[in-house]
Each structure stands twice: as C-alpha cells, then as structure tokens.
Amino acid sequence: MDNPNYKSGFVALIGRPNVGKSTLLNQVIGQKVAIMSNVAQTTRNKIQGIYTTDEAQIVFIDTPGIHKPQTKLGDFMERSSLSALDEVDAVLFVINATENKGAGDNFIIERLKRVHQPIYLIINKIDQVHPDRLLAVMDQYKDSLKWEQVLPVSALQGNNVREMLQEIVKKLPTGPQYYPEDQVSDHPERFVVAELIREKIFQLTRDEIPHSVAVDIEQINREDEKTIHIAATIVVERPTQKGIIIGKGGQMLKKIGSLARQDIERLMGDKVYLELWVKVVEHWRDKSSTLKSYGYRK
C-alpha cells in the first residue's frame, strides 16, 4: 500500500444504550462483530470493527454506554469509554431520533466538551420518524456542541450510512492502512464468543437476568480439521440466577448453547462443540480481582 493520499484513523462510537451503535457498526462492517440487543449495556468492552477501502481505513471503537457508575464494573466501563476518546481521530455521538434529548445525552455532551477531535452527531433510526420530527430533533441538539456535521441515518436499513462514511473519511488524516483488508476485528476470538453467549442469555431470559452475568471462555481447542471444542463458564451472582439459566431439566441452558453455537459456527466457519457450565460467584461485580479474571482489563 504505497498511496501517499491514503487516509486512516480511529473513530469512537458514543451514545446512550440502545441508540443503535452496534447495529451501525455491523451495517458498516457487514459482519456480526458487535452485540445487538434491546437490553441496555450488553456491550461491555471495546470492540474494534475495521472498515477498509482503496482510499481509507476506519478503525471503529464501540464503547460501552457512558453513564453514572454504580458498581466497580460500572466505574471501569465508564473509565474505559472516556479514555478511548483521547486516542481517536473522530467521535460519532449516536442518538435515537424517536427520543427527546434527555439527562443521559446531556451527561455525555458535557464530557464531549473536553474533546478536541471532530464530533459528528449521528441521528439514528430515521426509518421510524417523520421528517418533521427529524427537524425537531436537530433543533434540540444544534447548539449543544460544535458539531463537525449532523448526519441522519438508519443503521438498521442502511440509509445514508455510505454517505456518513464518505464524510468521515474526508476529515481523516492521511495515514497507513493499520490492518490487512480482510480483517474486520482485532479482538481475540474468545471475546466475540463470550459476547455471543451473553447475547443469547439476554435474549432468552429477558428481564429475569440482570447484567450480573459474565462469560468466561475456559478453552477454544481445535479437535480436528473441522471441529472446534469450546468450553465456557457462565458466572452469575445468585443461586436463583443459576436456576433460571439452567431452566427446567436443563432446557434453558440447552437453548442458550444451541443458539450460541449456531452463531459461533457462522463466525468461525467450522463445526463447534460448545460445552457450557454455570457457576455462582457472589458480588463478582464489586470485586476488582474477579473483574480482571473475567477479562475486563484496562
């Protein structure tokens, strides 16, 4: 790659939970690397999705929602999403067009005032609103920050996403292609596998299981040319939660395993044998030492 005009940079995705950050990333990358769900805060670590063309490369950082911390985990999540902002070349602040600007948005805006990089306001879910409503939302935000640009999109349907990328690329510095073009994420496989299992738990158990669930990947081994053996432990805080996840006669755990396995097979392109265990560790979220062993690192 010896194009002197090649552009590249790191771009952070910021926004309240459920505004559609993961969906947008997936739309851009075209592959399931981030977690989508209706449950707030399923994305706990930074995930980098990498978008590469002949002219530019954008390395996306999907940050956890910025919110007021209540536990050590919350505190960690907040610090990691803020520190990400110092390292990036641009910030995408994503909002949901169907919602009015609220306290959570103002909280983020206050923090973004300290950021010197270009900040784009991405108004998502425009497929759900009338143009008049879109104008009203723009009005609510227009004086909140010095926006580099205001870009309405539908992450789900893809409307205006290509145009959004073009605008971001225009402002990126010239620089190298950091990653090979066939790479979409630099995360270790085990992180993505753990997130896929977590996603199934949230989808299937809904409100019954709060966010006190961690997934620890004990091993990923290649059995033979076509089969991968994965062993994972689901860590919960209370015996009742363990009961819900296992379900009557183990039915729930079986369902979680089966759906997760299908996704993992799609991701890895091989047959997967997935072994799931459930373990209770009381108050794991408040213990810094256990946080580290479950893969949350600075």
* Lateral strand order in the sheet of 271-280: 214-222, 227-236, 271-280
Burial class (CB in 10 A: 0-12, 13-18, 19+), 238: middle
Q: Which residue from 99, 127, 189, 265 is in contact with ligand GDP, where contact means CB under 6 A?
A: 127
Cα dihedral 81, 43, 156, 187 in deg (nearest 10): 90
Q: How far is the CB of 34 from Mg ion (least distance, A)?
A: 6
CB-nearer residue toward Mg ion: 7 or 105 = 105
Q: Which partner in ligand GDP, Mg ion, K ion, none is near 124 (CB below 5 to 8 A by kind)? A: ligand GDP
| 3-class secondary structure, 22 | helix
CB-nearer residue toward ligand GDP: 15 or 118 = 15
* Cα–Cα dist 5/200, whole Å: 43
The annotation status of 240 as a binding-site residue, yes or no, is no
Q: Which stretch binds ligand GDP (CB under 6 A): 19-27, 161-169, 174-182, 229-237?
A: 19-27
CB-nearer residue toward Mg ion: 8 or 22 = 22
18 binds ligand GDP (CB under 6 A): yes
CB-nearer residue toward ligand GDP: 202 or 274 = 202
236, 235, 239, 238: which is closest to 216 by C-alpha?
Answer: 235
Q: SS3 helix, strand, coil % of the chain, rounded to 5?
A: 40, 25, 40
Q: Which residue from 43, 48, 63, 154 is in contact with Mg ion, where contact means CB under 5 A?
A: 43
Q: Which residue from 8, 22, 52, 81 is in contact with Mg ion, where contact means CB under 5 A?
A: 22
Window 105-124: contact mask with ligand GDP (x via CB under 6 A):
-------------------x
Window 147-166: contact mask with ligand GDP (x via CB under 6 A):
-------xxx----------
Q: Which residue from 11, 28, 36, 172 is in contact with ligand GDP, where contact means CB under 6 A?
A: 36
Residue number of the CB atom closest to ligand GDP: 20
* Strand 227-236 with 214-222, pairing: antiparallel
Alpha helices in the chain (DSSP H): 21-29, 72-86, 103-112, 131-141, 161-171, 189-205, 239-246, 251-268, 288-293
CB-nearer residue toward Mg ion: 43 or 52 = 43
Q: Which residue from 37, 149, 203, 212 is in contact with ligand GDP, where contact means CB under 6 A?
A: 37
* Cα–Cα dist 108/16, whole Å: 8
* Cα–Cα dist 184/33, whole Å: 8
Residues in contact with Mg ion by the rule CB under 5 A: 21-22, 43
